[in-house]
Structure 1
């Protein structure tokens, strides 16, 4: 995976540690959070920090059910092969570093939350004009279009 792809994947995967449709939450227990972070070669920090950061990031990308709060995790700038690199030791710091890199590249506004009440899945909008609304047109978009069509009839 390229740097941009890895950043997108890390941020979206972190935002999707809560699954509204299935009613699951990786951040419900320390063990599942530790496993999630370890699978990505990251060091898990506290559940409390992870939950607060996830909620704030989800609110920032449009989740109406998420609450924004202050963010603050240690990140550092290192030189890797003569190039400055933003990095972090903990999982939430790595997620925020990835989000910051996306923002610097002008890509942060492409991270979105599906507006379907029973979904709220995070996704990265790859459309040329950044107009994608649904996580999946085949599932959520189709369901919503069918529902509004029925309401009009």
Structure 2
């Protein structure tokens, strides 16, 4: 997976729906997360707004898409314009912007399993991957569908 995609997916997954844990609830964990990636932590309220906005934009059904205005800084040099980041949250936005420019934004997805909702990057050739993991969420959904058909229950 490309480094921009890794950073964005890691940031989107700072909330774990299945476990009911949110890394941004603990400023020390947010500090460690940011530092481990060579980034400066941003205040958790802004980071949460950015994370929730990005998760909504890639399909988190719990969150409504709302406009999010965040000032970004860029540098202009002989190699052209370059977005700059001053903290962890802006580094994620820069990475997300680069993904969009490259046409890879559509590869960011949220697992549709209600008890998962994990973000992932679809590396399949035709961008058709649905589940974060076929072994876990995909199989669980297939088993659920099979049981419903076998018992005659339809959703």
Match of 1:29 among 13, 26, 41: 26
1:135 aligns with: 132
1:62 aligns with: 59
Between the aligned partners of 1:13 and 1:53, the Cα distance in structure 2 is: 13
Q: Deviations over 1:103-134 (max 9, x none)?
A: 00000010000000111110000111111000
Structure having the higher Rg: 2
With the length of structure 2 as denominator, give the TM-score of the two structures. Answer: 0.90
Between the aligned partners of 1:25 and 1:80, the Cα distance in structure 2 is: 39
Match of 2:114 among 108, 117, 121: 117
With the length of structure 1 as denominator, give the TM-score of the two structures. Answer: 0.91
Q: Deviations over 1:27-54 (max 9, x none)?
A: 1111111111111111111111011111
Say if 2:91 is the partner of 1:94: yes
Say if 2:143 is the partner of 1:146: yes
- Cα gap change, 1:145/1:99 in structure 2, threshold over 3 Å: closer, same or farther? same
Query: How do 1:68-107 residues align onto structure 2 when only pairs under 5 Å count?
Result: 68-79=65-76, 82-107=79-104
Structure 2 runs not aligned, ≥5 long: 151-155
1:51 aligns with: 48
Q: Which moved more, 1:132-141 or 1:22-31?
A: 22-31
CA-based RMSD: 1.6
Cα distance, 1:79 vs. partner? 4.9
Q: Which moved more, 1:79-88 or 1:58-67?
A: 79-88
SS class of match (2:62): coil
SS class of match (1:42): coil
2:7 aligns with: 10
